[in-house]
A and B are shown apart, each in its own frame.
Chain A
Amino acid sequence: MTDTGFFGRLSWDSFPIAGLIENPNANEIVANAAAGIVIVGVIAVVGLLTWFRLWAPLWRNWLTSADHKKIGIMYIVFAIVMLARGVLEGVVMRAQQAAGPGDGFLEAEHFAELFSTHGTIMVFFVAVPFVLGIANYLIPLMIGARDVAFPVMNQISLGLTVSAGMMLMVSLVVGHFSTGGWTAYPPYTGAAFNPGVGPDYWIWAIVVSGIGTTLTGINFAVTIYKLRAPGMKFMRLPMYCWTIISSSILIVFAMPPLGVAALMLAADRYLDFHFFTNDLGGNMMNYANLFWLFGHPEVYLLVLPAYGIYSEIFATFSAKRLYGYNSLVIATMCIAVLSFTVWLHHFFTMGQSALINAVFGIATMMIAIPTGVKVYDWMATLYRGRIRFSVPMLYGLAFLMLFVIGGLSGVILANPTVDYQVHNTLFLVAHFHNVLLPGVLFGLLAGYNYWFPKAFGFRLNEYWGRVTVLLWTVGFMLTFLPLYFVGLMGMPRRSFSWEDPSFHPYMIVAAVGALVILLALLSVVAQLWISIRDREKTQVPVGDPWDARTLEWSIPAPPPAYNFAVIPQVTDRDDFAAAKERGDAYPRPEKYEDIVMPRNTAIGFVLCVLSGVWMFALVWWIWWLAALTTVLMLLAFIRWTFRLDTEETIPAEEVRKQHEAWLDLVQDSTPVDRDHEIAPDNRGLAGPDLEAMT
């Protein structure tokens, strides 16, 4: 790491186009096409922004905004962009395996890069930002607050997550990403076996996005503990907020192990330390333990918020109070605690005694108990409800059926003796996709459909929404259910090449399924496009299109920057539903007060750019640049602490004017019953529903 010049170890050969020129083949074409998509995408975005003169509004209204709602939306946009890349990589991998028996069209190294980036992106840059984005948008609205506890820190979190994600995009264009899988086990990812830049891309992306996520966890925890509206006791919180509390706790305690592991790996690679090396006393089992000490809580950190989304959706679209609220709260907190006691089941075969394996196996199976409680609570919520099969509900039903299969295959894997047979096979791949797609992704998409009208003031297209649900569900089943069988037949995961002809039919079906998933992704885009085109017919300015139950629906859609004109006084769980029953859901406040809101600041964006350059410099050993950006980041932050005018005041008169105008709109709107929920006359004012039962 010493003899490096001005550009570090960066050279012409670092660009994939060099490989294409020297050796044109299918593998290089795929790699260059990917790099090309990134470059064309960047040029297209820059071009469009310039053409429509959007740079100034983008800067003013979005990039420098400290509004939790806008930060949430930016998180989600980022997640969906990364989702597109992750899905494409998945399709290429399935195509590669379907092209067998034999070696397919990719080289082994390239295939390894694909499964490494696919895993890293889907976990850290799709699932996490999507979850955090929705939570960012909703938490203050649900608890009756004006913003999160630390709006600027929120902006910094977003900046760090995005810059880390950008590193994965950069790795397509300059150099290569890691081939060590999303878990990056040493010693394979150590300097001795992998001297290139790949593992370094992984390390810094993980460290920086990990810091961003930790800050968000702190932010959400403090927001929910400290900023609840008067009367919003803990047991009156919407179920979704409970799941975010437990996710925040998981973040605060589980992200450090990941940071420690990645930084220790960096010390091994950059400074020749011996934490995980094969020689001089290194111990790679420490890495496995640290990584999964993070990794297992991580999956609950992702799935619990999805459970929260489903809880809200099942209650709303059944027109019933959520069944078993207390048991759901207890189950959620049990899962949060238990998730820290099971990490070892990720490496049953790595040399522990049978007793230890048994202990962790039993602990793992115990998680099925609170999860089972939840599934029954959800079904009981549906029971004798006034059910509407709207898009979020359809996602929810697909989830209930498919997730149970995924969960039960997890119980099978939790048995160490069985795990010895199927570990490292496609059975495992089928299992975790079976919990992550119907569990996390369907939940997030359901939440996206459910809260979209709140955020943008118009509903998403129902027909295309249903097409999307169908495509995701069918695509998921075709792609991943065959992998259970082929896994039991002994096909290892992550193999770019295979020989046994009996695998072939399953591989073909899985590849077809991957194409259906690609169509599902396209139909997400189509739904959004068509919904924006037809937005005049789906306006819901009053703000309550689904006759929903929680506070966020009691305000206009889209909500004003300050969320609540007057902070609500909460008297009940499902306070808004209770108010609608009493008939005073839209009271006229007697007086208004000045509202203090965080002012725009560029610090998040500055840190985003600087941390991006910093990571790039470290990956390519450009030491002067790394040192420079370190100092600049420190100075930027210190300079920011000297800023005193961090808040601005919205005068009471302006709040009154806006709020009164909306209240007049409420009065003039015609309420609709649930039979007309998706008709154009649903303007967001819910009327009494004769069939509804409470």
Chain B
Amino acid sequence: MKRAPTHSYPGLNLGRRHAGADKASEVVTFGFWVFLMSDLVYFGLMFAIYITMIDAQAGGPGPHQLFDLTSIFTQTMILLTSSLTVGLAMLALKYNLPRWRIVFWFCMTLVLGICFLVLEMRDFMAMVEKGGIPQRSGFLSAFYGLVPLHGLHVAAGCLWLIVLGIQLRVFGLTDLLMSRMVRLALFWHFLDLIWIGIITIVYFGGLAYG
């Protein structure tokens, strides 16, 4: 027996309660998945470049001198929590919980995103103080080509959150905005996924092989 499909796109669906937004999301969310695939190739290549350049330190500072795992651990926890909060926002949206709960969880996500960026900037500044600038070696070029690229994505996500917040005030919770929130959540989870790659390959991999 063939069951009717309950999902019109991969990931969290808005479902029956928001039939209009759900329908509006079908094509555009699929398109966003395709975009994420393309973006993933960008990151994949940067990871590959980093791996080939771990040894290209040219006598400059390497992972052991530069990486601060305590700070990385804090950043990881912050980013993982932000994925949780964006997920809670989506659940609040899906199950028609009071509007303030949706807003609250999105605000939490934004705050955590900004905290992450601040900590990351602090890390970079500490690295620069120890001579870890991208102009120093191929290894550092690859590091600064990859990790700030992720940071740039987080910053873009934060900007997106702010714009969505303004639009929520201006337009109210329309189908269009709900559909945009679905995509924002996907994007945010994608950032998390990349970060898992970064701690594994850039930081742990760097310390193990650099």
| B163, A150: Cβ atoms closer than 8 Å | no
Say what secondary structure dominates the interface of chain A.
Answer: helix
Provide the residues of chain B in CB contact with A277, threshold 8 Å. Answer: 138
Say what secondary structure dominates the interface of chain B.
Answer: helix
Q: Which of A195-234 contact B (CB under 8 A)?
A: 214, 217-219, 221-222, 225-227
Say whether A286 faces chain B, with CB atoms less than 8 Å apart.
Answer: yes
Do A290 and B53 contact each other (CB < 8 Å), given the known contacts A218-B35, A644-B176?
A: no
| B135, A271: Cβ atoms closer than 8 Å | yes
Question: Quick check: which of B39-47, B66-74, B86-94, B98-106 contacts chain A, the rest being far away?
Answer: B39-47
Say whether B95 faces chain A, with CB atoms less than 8 Å apart.
Answer: no
Provide the residues of chain A in CB contact with B144, threshold 8 Å. Answer: 273
Say whether A613 faces chain B, with CB atoms less than 8 Å apart.
Answer: no
Question: Quick check: which of B14-22, B24-32, B108-116, B187-195 contacts chain A, the rest being far away?
Answer: B24-32
Provide the residues of chain A in CB contact with B145, threshold 8 Å. Answer: 264, 267, 273, 275
Q: Complex formed: what's the CA distance from A525 to B151 in Å?
A: 51
Shortest C-beta distance, A336 to chain B (Å), equals 15
Q: Complex formed: what's the CA distance from A644 to B170 in Å?
A: 11
Q: Which of B34, B56, B57 contacts A282 (CB 8 A)?
A: B56
Number of B interface residues in the complex (CB < 8 A) = 38
| B137, A274: Cβ atoms closer than 8 Å | yes
Provide the residues of chain A in CB contact with B52, threshold 8 Å. Answer: 283, 286
| B138, A282: Cβ atoms closer than 8 Å | yes
| B135, A272: Cβ atoms closer than 8 Å | yes
| B41, A149: Cβ atoms closer than 8 Å | no
B31, closest chain A residue (CB): A222
Say whether B49 faces chain A, with CB atoms less than 8 Å apart.
Answer: yes
Provide the residues of chain B in CB contact with A638, threshold 8 Å. Answer: 163
Shortest C-beta distance, B58 to chain A (Å), equals 4
Say whether A252 faces chain B, with CB atoms less than 8 Å apart.
Answer: yes
Q: Complex formed: what's the CA distance from A150 to B27 in Å?
A: 9
Q: Which of B26, B38, B49, B167 contacts A218 (CB 8 A)?
A: B38
Say whether B141 faces chain A, with CB atoms less than 8 Å apart.
Answer: yes
| A281, B139: Cβ atoms closer than 8 Å | yes
Say whether B37 faces chain A, with CB atoms less than 8 Å apart.
Answer: yes
Q: Complex formed: what's the CA distance from A390 to B134 in Å?
A: 60
Q: Complex formed: what's the CA distance from A264 to B142 in Å?
A: 9
Q: Complex formed: what's the CA distance from A252 to B163 in Å?
A: 27
Q: Complex formed: what's the CA distance from A324 to B37 in Å?
A: 32
Q: Complex formed: what's the CA distance from A267 to B133 in Å?
A: 13
| Most interface-central of A150, A268, A277, A282 (chain B CB within 10 A) | A282
Provide the residues of chain B in CB contact with A150, threshold 8 Å. Answer: 28, 31
Q: Which of B114-135 contact A (CB under 8 A)?
A: 134-135
Q: Which of A214, A260, A271, A283 contacts B134 (CB 8 A)?
A: A271
Say whether B64 faces chain A, with CB atoms less than 8 Å apart.
Answer: no
B55, closest chain A residue (CB): A281
Provide the residues of chain A in CB contact with B134, threshold 8 Å. Answer: 267, 271-274
Shortest C-beta distance, B47 to chain A (Å), equals 11
Number of A interface residues in the complex (CB < 8 A) = 39
Shortest C-beta distance, B65 to chain A (Å), equals 16
Provide the residues of chain A in CB contact with B209, threshold 8 Å. Answer: none
B163, closest chain A residue (CB): A638
A641, closest chain B residue (CB): B163
A221, closest chain B residue (CB): B34
Provide the residues of chain B in CB contact with A279, threshold 8 Å. Answer: 58
Shortest C-beta distance, A514 to chain B (Å), equals 38
Q: Complex formed: what's the CA distance from A264 to B60 in Å?
A: 20
Q: Complex formed: what's the CA distance from A264 to B49 in Å?
A: 10
| B38, A253: Cβ atoms closer than 8 Å | yes
| A275, B41: Cβ atoms closer than 8 Å | no
A218, closest chain B residue (CB): B34
| A275, B142: Cβ atoms closer than 8 Å | yes
Q: Which of B34, B45, B163 contacts A222 (CB 8 A)?
A: B34
| A281, B30: Cβ atoms closer than 8 Å | no
Q: Complex formed: what's the CA distance from A353 to B99 in Å?
A: 63
Q: Which of A239-288 contact B (CB under 8 A)?
A: 252-253, 255-257, 259-260, 264, 267-268, 271-275, 277, 279-283, 286
B141, closest chain A residue (CB): A273
Provide the residues of chain B in CB contact with A225, threshold 8 Å. Answer: 30
Shortest C-beta distance, B74 to chain A (Å), equals 28
Q: Which of A494-514 contact B (CB under 8 A)?
A: none
A279, closest chain B residue (CB): B58
| A222, B30: Cβ atoms closer than 8 Å | yes
Provide the residues of chain B in CB contact with A222, threshold 8 Å. Answer: 27, 30-31, 34
Q: Complex formed: what's the CA distance from A225 to B167 in Å?
A: 30
Shortest C-beta distance, B42 to chain A (Å), equals 5
Shortest C-beta distance, B191 to chain A (Å), equals 17
Provide the residues of chain B in CB contact with A218, threshold 8 Å. Answer: 31, 34-35, 38
| B137, A281: Cβ atoms closer than 8 Å | yes
Provide the residues of chain B in CB contact with A193, threshold 8 Å. Answer: none
Provide the residues of chain B in CB contact with A214, threshold 8 Å. Answer: 38
Provide the residues of chain B in CB contact with A255, threshold 8 Å. Answer: 38
Contact with A along B155-192 (1 / 0, CB 8 A): 00000000100010011000010000000000000000
Say whether B7 faces chain A, with CB atoms less than 8 Å apart.
Answer: no
| A149, B27: Cβ atoms closer than 8 Å | yes
| A642, B135: Cβ atoms closer than 8 Å | no
Say whether B136 faces chain A, with CB atoms less than 8 Å apart.
Answer: yes
Q: Which of A253, A264, A268, A280 contacts B41 (CB 8 A)?
A: A253
Provide the residues of chain A in CB contact with B167, threshold 8 Å. Answer: 641-642
Do A280 and B27 contact each other (CB < 8 Å), given the known contacts A253-B37, A267-B145, A642-B170?
A: no
Provide the residues of chain A in CB contact with B31, threshold 8 Å. Answer: 149-150, 218-219, 222
Provide the residues of chain A in CB contact with B55, threshold 8 Å. Answer: 281
| B56, A252: Cβ atoms closer than 8 Å | no
| A256, B137: Cβ atoms closer than 8 Å | no
A277, closest chain B residue (CB): B138
Shortest C-beta distance, B143 to chain A (Å), equals 11
Shortest C-beta distance, B194 to chain A (Å), equals 14
Provide the residues of chain B in CB contact with A290, threshold 8 Å. Answer: 45, 49
Shortest C-beta distance, B34 to chain A (Å), equals 5
Instruction: List 18 A-B residue pairs with CB atoms under 8 Å apart, sorted by A's residue number.
Output: A149-B28, A214-B38, A218-B31, A218-B38, A222-B34, A226-B27, A253-B38, A253-B41, A256-B45, A264-B49, A272-B135, A273-B141, A273-B145, A274-B56, A274-B134, A282-B141, A283-B53, A283-B138
**Residues of A in contact with B (beta carbons under 8 Å apart):** 149-150, 214, 217-219, 221-222, 225-227, 252-253, 255-257, 259-260, 264, 267-268, 271-275, 277, 279-283, 286, 290, 293, 638, 641-642, 644
Q: Can you add 4 more A-B contacts, CB < 8 Å, to A253-B37, A273-B135, A641-B167?
A: A252-B37, A260-B45, A283-B138, A644-B171
